[in-house]
Amino acid sequence: MSTSVDDAIKAFAPALPLAVGYSGGADSTALLLACARQWPQQVRAIHVHHGLQDCADDFVRHCESFCAQLKVPLRVLRVDARHAPGQSPEDAARNARYAAFKSALQEPWAGDDVSCIALAQHADDQVETLLLALSRGAGLPCLSAMPAHWERDGIQYHRPLLQVPGAAIRAWLEAQGVAWVTDPTNAQQQFTRNRIRAQLLPALDHAFPQFRETFARSAAHAAQAQALLGELAEQDLQNIGVPPSISRLQSLSRARQANALRHWLKTSWRTSPSAAQLEELLDQLAACRTRGHSIHIKLGSGFVRRSLEHLDWYNPRAV
């Protein structure tokens, strides 16, 4: 059910002190302001300078001014968010941000006692993520959309505004008389997410006013199903071994092979295969009946190959 910024923060119970990812945009401005009011002297801000826009330095100056007004310590981290060949710009920027967050919590300004970061994605972002996944024919991991809480690199991440619509956030800020910056790329409709925001969300709002709540329920169902698949994959990998034994993989059904391989690649190597790549690997596994059968397939950001009686994955760029 949709809620307000104030109600969302009242229901939020992070470990303190808390760091907030702060871009200067409306959503992160509302999150930072609400958290700073809720926990005075216990909130810090992290701004990631991606270096991709001419106005990025202006964003930094705005963030410095607002944090000084709130008396919130700010850490500005500059990253190289340019994408590599074959990598989406969105993935490159996301990976750069997470690396920056990890670095920020290791800096003296934060200290070892900061273990939580709050991010400002909201209900509309959740819907956009789900629709984007559907447009790409994605599986359950992506249809589960964004979790409200997860852990990465020993850091606890939270999204306390996931049930708050974007319009409610902007209305709340306007009521406070607080300004924010606007990323000019948000209006560029060559990006699928921006087209969803500009064209589909208004149509959904008109046809199905409760779509945020119903879509969130569908995403929660997908997340539950994915959790069960994760448990099954853990059980199968205990029997198959890590790295996976080819013969033990072959004893499973094709669907369970795919599930176990996805889980292995995600948990061991933080990579995900496309549907076509995984299907090709499964075909090769089915045909692998002799010692001389070679397997070498592009998969995710690297390659899967046969290593004696097991499968191995490697990234040649990391060698």
pLDDT single digits (tens) 274-289 = 889 999 999 999 998 8
Q: Is the pLDDT of residue 126 over 80?
A: yes
Higher pLDDT: 186 or 104? It is 104
| Residue 108 confidence class, pLDDT cut points 50, 70, 90 | low
Q: Are 175 and 33 in contact (CB under 8 A)?
A: no
The residue that leads in pLDDT, 110 or 160, is 160
* pLDDT tens, position by position, 59-107: 889 999 999 999 999 999 887 656 555 556 666 677 778 888 888 887 7
Residues 6+ positions from 51 with CB-CB distance below 8 Å: 78, 79, 80, 81
**pLDDT computed for residue 52 by the predictor:** 59
Is pLDDT of 225 > 90? yes
Q: What pLDDT was estimated at residue 144?
A: 86
Calpha distance 317→297 (Å, rounded): 16
Report the percentage of the chain scoring pLDDT > 90: 56
Q: What is the pLDDT of residue 207?
A: 93
102-112: b or e for each residue (b if 16 or more CB lie within 10 Å)?
Answer: eebbeeeebee
- Select the more confidently predicted residue: 54 or 292: 292
Angle at 255 between CA 242 and CA 244, to 5 degrees: 10
| Mean local confidence (pLDDT), 28-52 | 90
Q: E strands of the chain, at which residues?
A: 18-21, 43-49, 74-78, 116-118, 149-152, 155-158, 296-299, 302-307, 310-314
> Rounded mean pLDDT of 14-25?
93
- Helix 123-135 and helix 211-240: axis angle, to 10°? 60
160: how many CB neighbours lie within 10 A of its CB?
Answer: 26
| Minimum mean pLDDT range among 136-140, 241-245, 303-307 | 136-140
Mean pLDDT along residues 10-37: 95
- What dihedral angle (degrees, nearest 10) is formed by the CA atoms of 223, 279, 248, 308? -130
The Cα–Cα gap between 285 and 278 comes to 10
In this model, does residue 184 exceed pLDDT 60?
Answer: yes
According to the model, what pLDDT value does residue 85 have? 58
Q: What rounded mean pLDDT belongs to the chain?
A: 88
